Amino acid sequence: MCRSIKTLRPPALPEKATEDDMRAAALQYVRKVSGFRAPAEHNREVFERAVEAVAAATAELLDGLEVRGAGRGEAART
């Protein structure tokens, strides 16, 4: 696991994760998997598509998670 990626769901993150939070996590993931901090020009498009796809998958995951025991005994959605 990349140590730079932080948990984005409550209670680890007190408020809802922002698009910037999700994109930053996606960027770290793609950097780790690809082995490139910044892609060469000929790989830039596929690198950016991967970041956007991972960010979208992250948003879908966080929107679908049900965190039990959060708040006043009610399920909280991020």
Residues 20-73: pLDDT tens digits?
999 999 999 999 999 999 999 999 999 999 999 999 999 999 999 988 876 543
Is 38 a member of any domain? Answer: yes
Is 35 a member of any domain? Answer: yes
- Bridge-based pairing of strands 76-77 and 66-67 is antiparallel
Is 4 a member of any domain? Answer: no
Q: Is the pTM of this model over 0.85?
A: no
Number of domains in the chain: 1
- Cα–chain center distance at 4: 11
Is 12 a member of any domain? Answer: no
Is 3 a member of any domain? Answer: no
Structural domain harbouring 68? 19-77
3-state secondary structure the chain: CCCCCCCCCCCCCCCCCCHHHHHHHHHHHHHHHHCCCCCCHHHHHHHHHHHHHHHHHHHHHHHHCEECCCCCCCCEEC
